[in-house]
Structure formats: structure tokens, C-alpha cells
Amino acid sequence: MTELGSKRLQGRVAFVSGGLRGIGLACVERFLAEGAEVVLSDLDAADSAVVGETMARLGQAASYVSANVAKEEDWERAAALVKERHGKCHILVNNAGTDLTGAVETLSLESWRRIMSINVDGVFLGTKHFVPMMAESGKDFRGGSSIINVSSIMGLVGMNEVSAYNASKGAVRLFTKGIAIEFAQKQTPIRANSLHPGFVETPLLKAGFQRWVDAGFAEKSEDLVASVVGATPIGRLAQPSELAAAAFFLASEDSSYMTGAELVIDGGWTAQ
Ligand SMILES: NC(=O)c1ccc[n+]([C@@H]2O[C@H](COP(=O)([O-])OP(=O)(O)OC[C@H]3O[C@@H](n4cnc5c(N)ncnc54)[C@H](O)[C@@H]3O)[C@@H](O)[C@H]2O)c1
């Protein structure tokens, strides 16, 4: 196994959307530990306390841009900022995402469009606006640049009352294969792979469990955690750092021959 903090991303620039919390933050921390310079984006205002505290802790190699992944002008601004600050970008993690639950006949078109705009438009727009810079930067490495699109096990299999999230994450999975083929055909030095987390202990999962409790599926969140853990062969939730380890692999030269693939990190949940 690669030693943590072995600086194997020295000289690389990474961009991580939704990097202030959960899996995104863990990716930022891991990339920094491996020697990369990292720009992270999120919805929070640049002058907010959370941003101030997080950026002070992350140090000089990290910088922040307030940007909504669903807005094209925000991506244009983010890409321009990375270009101005670093002149290159080798790694893009399209991580920002949200969830939506409920019986299909109860979902509003507005809530459907909202999740699609964040989970699907966000991945498309990030890819679109970073590809020119990443194609140029990728020439320096055998494995080229690397796009890591965060899908889910819910992009592989369906789940009760999760149809909108299933649809959005399924789209991320196949969009990734499409761009992987496109880049390879044109010999554009960018690889693209999707990451499929199982149940990861993050603010998103916590809020999701609370909504299931509010909807009457369980009495308390602890019961939901116990039922998910019971259905997971490894017998526990994932930690964000375990997803960041997979993202590091996809970002590094160790995955230089890997494109259009799916990396499932789910404690065996979909193996059953
Ligand atoms: N936690 C899990 O169990 C799990 C499982 C499978 C997939 N995922 C996926 O992993 C990714 C990260 O999830 P997480 O659990 O770390 O979530 P999280 O909510 O803990 O963190 C996500 C971050 O993205 C930001 N964000 C949300 N909408 C945004 C937008 N429109 N523009 C910019 N930033 C935005 C949030 O503010 C937050 O900081 C998501 O795509 C999610 O669907 C999570």
C-alpha cells in the first residue's frame, strides 16, 4: 500500500468541488498530504467562519473559491482562478452532490430538476470548463490528467424511494465512460473514472438518515445506522478518508492504464 503523505502528487494541481466537508474535504486533505496544491470550492461565502477555520488549518498549498457547481458562470470563474493562480490543473474531483428521497409520485419536478442540476449538470460543467487546461497539463505525465467523478453505489443499483438520486448517479457513471472514450479516441491526455462510495459517515449521510426518521421509516438515526451496518459485509460505515484513498489512487500514476472504469468502495454492499 502507498505510504500516506509520500508526496507522490508533488507538482500536481488538483481541484475538488464540495471540498469543505465529508468526502471532498478528505480528498483535499489527502492530496495535500501527497504534495499537491489544491483549490477547493463549495457554496459557503469566502469570508465565512467555516472557510476561515478550514483554510487556516489546510495551509498555504490550499485555496478556496465560493462556487455553485450548478452554475456555469461559477465554473468559468473557478477555472480562470486556477489558471491564474497555478497555470495548470492535473486532477479534478467532481465531488459536490446532494440527495433526494421520497416515493416517485410525491417528488416535485422542481426537486427533481434541483438534484439533476447539482449532481449531473455540476459534473458536466466541471468537466467542460477544466478539460482545456487539464489536456495541456496532462502531457507531462504517462497517465495524463485525471478526472474523478463521484457517483455512488446508488448509481449501480436501485433503492426504495431513492429513484431521483439513482438516476442522477447513474448519469454520472455513464457520462464518465463517454468522456473517457472521447479523450482516449482523440489522444487527449485525460483519464476519467467514477468512484462509487457505499455508506460514508459524512454530514450528508447524517442529514439523510434524519430525513428518513422524520418520514417515519425508523424511530431514530441509530436504528438506520444499525440496519445499514447489518447489511454491509464489512460491518461498519466507511470513513471519508477511505474514499480519499481511492481518489488518490485514481489521481496518481498507479492508475495510469485505468479509464472509463468504476471503483466501488462499499464494504461489499453491492457484492451480495
Ligand atoms: N456520504 C455517503 O454515504 C455517500 C455515498 C455515496 C456517494 N456520495 C456522494 O459523495 C459526494 C460527497 O458527499 P458527502 O457525503 O461528502 O456530502 P457532504 O454533504 O458531507 O459534503 C458535500 C459538500 O458539497 C457541498 N455542495 C453541495 N451542493 C453544492 C453545490 N451546488 N455547489 C458546490 N458545493 C456544493 C456541500 O456544501 C458540502 O460541503 C456526493 O456527490 C454524494 O452524492 C456520498
Q: Determine, yes or no, domain membership for 153.
A: yes
One domain for residues 191 and 220: no
Task: Supply the mean pLDDT for the chain.
Answer: 97
User: Is pLDDT above 90 for 38?
Assistant: yes
Question: Residue 233 belongs to what domain range?
Answer: 202-237
Please indicate whether residue 267, judged by its CB atom, sits closer than 6 Å to ligand 1: no
Kindly report the CATH number assigned to the domain that includes residue 82. 3.40.50.720
Instruction: Count the domains in the chain.
Output: 2
Give the pLDDT of residue 3: 60
Asked if 187 and 229 sit in the same domain, the reply is no
User: pLDDT tens-digit profile of 128-162?
Assistant: 999 999 999 999 899 999 999 999 999 999 999 99
Does residue 106 share a domain with residue 22?
Answer: yes
For ligand 1, what atom is nearest to the CA of residue 243?
10
Share of the chain above pLDDT 70, in %: 98
Task: Note whether residue 3 is domain-resident.
Answer: no
- The verdict on the CB of residue 149 being under 6 Å from ligand 1 is no
Per-residue pLDDT tens for 218-253?
999 999 999 999 999 999 999 999 999 999 999 999
Q: Output the pLDDT for position 264.
A: 98
CA of 74, closest atom in ligand 1: 32
What is the Å distance from ligand 1's center to 58 Cα?
19
Residues 157 and 129 grouped into a single domain: yes
DSSP string, 193-249: EEEEE-SB-SHHHHHHHHHHHHTTS-SSHHHHHHHHHHTSTT-SPBPHHHHHHHHHH
Quick check: is 1 in a domain? no
Model pLDDT, residue 260: 98
- Percent of the chain, pLDDT > 90? 96
Residues 218, 90 within the same domain: no
In this structure, the answer to whether residues 90 and 143 fall within a common structural domain is: yes
**Given a cut of 50, is residue 184 above it in pLDDT?**
yes
204 Cβ closer than 6 Å to some ligand 1 atom: yes
**Shared-domain flag, residues 143 and 258:** yes
Catalytic residue among 15, 130, 165, 209: 165
Question: What does DSSP assign to residue 19?
Answer: T
Q: Is 69 helix (H, G, I), strand (E, B) or coil?
A: coil
Any atom of ligand 1 within 6 Å of the Cβ of 24? yes
Answer whether residue 167 shows pLDDT above 70. yes
Q: Is the CB of 130 under 6 A from ligand 1?
A: no
Same-domain status, 134 and 260: yes
d(CA 102, CA 89): 38
Are residue 95 and residue 228 in the same domain, yes or no? no
Model confidence at 102, pLDDT cuts 50, 70, 90, reads very high
Give yes or no for residue 5 having a pLDDT over 80: no
Specify if 119 maps to a domain: yes
What is the pTM (predicted TM-score) of this model? 0.97
165 flagged as catalytic: yes
- Overall average pLDDT of the 92-107 stretch: 97
147 and 245 in a single domain? The answer is yes
Please check the confidence at residue 1 and state whether its pLDDT lies above 50. no
Whether 34 and 119 map to the same domain: the answer is yes
Q: Whose CA is nearest to atom 23 of ligand 1?
A: 18
**Dihedrals phi, psi of 132, to nearest 5 degrees:** -60, -45
178 and 261 housed in the same domain: yes
Between the CA of 16 and the centroid of ligand 1 the distance, in Å, is 11
